[in-house]
Amino acid sequence: MKTAVRAFVEEVAEMYLSKLERHYAPSEELEEFAGLLSSIDWSEDPVIAPPSGDVPGLRHIPTALSAAYEAGDCPVLDALRLCIGLTPWETFYSKSEWSNPFIDNFASGELVGPKGFMRNEDVSLGLFVLGPETTYSEHAHDSTEVYYVLGGEASWRLDSPDREQRYRPGELVFTSPHQRHEIRTGGLPMLAAYTWKADPSAPSYYRSEGPWRKGRRTQPLLVNR
């Protein structure tokens, strides 16, 4: 089991470095993430999570995986195949006004991280799936985040609702610390990997007066954190 997760993590680190060679910016961040993933202590025992409870978004995994395979050969995806069942999937967020637009179409799970299959306090690498025609509400956080689209497609709105770009399998999306972002899918669900430098349970926030407004900095309610 640990071997499968390690193979996936190593493929992600290698992919980051390959993007670096092709001058995807910002290179320093990618290099740092690849370094953190390469420094994981694999002598530790993994933590096997109990079976996922009610995570409605998991129903989108088969379609998202099909979309991923249709997108073509991808070593990261091949390595991921054996990790889907080891991922401690959860809804992550509790139901709230902020999470209502996506929570029934969302699932995420950490393969590496403070609550992950492999415990690590320095870096988190996880997966998330977002169902079709769904908006993962605008938020920001302290850490740089790197998303890697594995299957399906989605648009990222960065900084404002007017700045939107579509991303496809094999593409990376960066968000800088405190950069607001919102993710919107179209007709297909999206499966993506995310990498953080810090505990994802701590720093996410949104503005209490609604999307893209100024309001009070508010943390989403989280499950089991």
Dihedral of CA atoms 183, 128, 92, 186 in degrees, nearest 10, equals 40
Query: For Fe ion, which is the closer residue by CB, 7 or 223?
Result: 223
Nearest to 85 by CA among 103, 106, 111: 111
Report the distance separating Cα 177 and Cα 104, nearest Å. 27
Taking 3-state DSSP, the helix, strand and coil percentages for the chain, each rounded to the nearest 5, stand at 25, 30, 45
- Which region among 41-49, 140-148, 205-213, 216-224 touches Fe ion (by CB under 5 A)? 140-148
Query: For Fe ion, which is the closer residue by CB, 120 or 124?
Result: 124
- Which region among 5-13, 120-128, 137-145, 149-157 touches Fe ion (by CB under 5 A)? 137-145
Tell me the closest approach of the beta carbon of residue 12 to Fe ion, in angstroms. 17
Residue 158 has which token pair? 């960065």
Dihedral of CA atoms 149, 58, 11, 6 in degrees, nearest 10, equals 160
- Which region among 55-63, 71-79, 106-114, 141-149 touches Fe ion (by CB under 5 A)? 141-149
Nearest to 83 by CA among 56, 49, 55: 49
- Which region among 19-27, 35-43, 74-82, 144-152 touches Fe ion (by CB under 5 A)? 144-152
Residue with structure tokens 């956080």?
A: 141
CA torsion through residues 133, 107, 97, 53, sign:
positive
Query: For Fe ion, which is the closer residue by CB, 4 or 107?
Result: 107
Tell me the closest approach of the beta carbon of residue 51 to Fe ion, in angstroms. 26
By CB under 5 A, how many residues form the interface with Fe ion? 1
Nearest to 152 by CA among 125, 132, 126: 132
Tell me the closest approach of the beta carbon of residue 46 to Fe ion, in angstroms. 25
Query: For Fe ion, which is the closer residue by CB, 10 or 182?
Result: 182
Query: For Fe ion, which is the closer residue by CB, 90 or 145?
Result: 145
- Which region among 22-30, 122-130, 145-153, 161-169 touches Fe ion (by CB under 5 A)? 145-153
Q: What secondary structure does DSSP assign to 158-210, as a single string?
A: ESSTT-EEEE-TT-EEEE-TT--EEEEE-SS-EEEEEEESS-TTTT-BEETTS
Query: For Fe ion, which is the closer residue by CB, 79 or 172?
Result: 172
Closest residue to Fe ion: CB criterion: 145
Tell me the closest approach of the beta carbon of residue 189 to Fe ion, in angstroms. 18
- Of residues 30-59, those binding Fe ion (CB under 5 A): none
Q: Which chain residues interact with Fe ion by CB under 5 A? A: 145
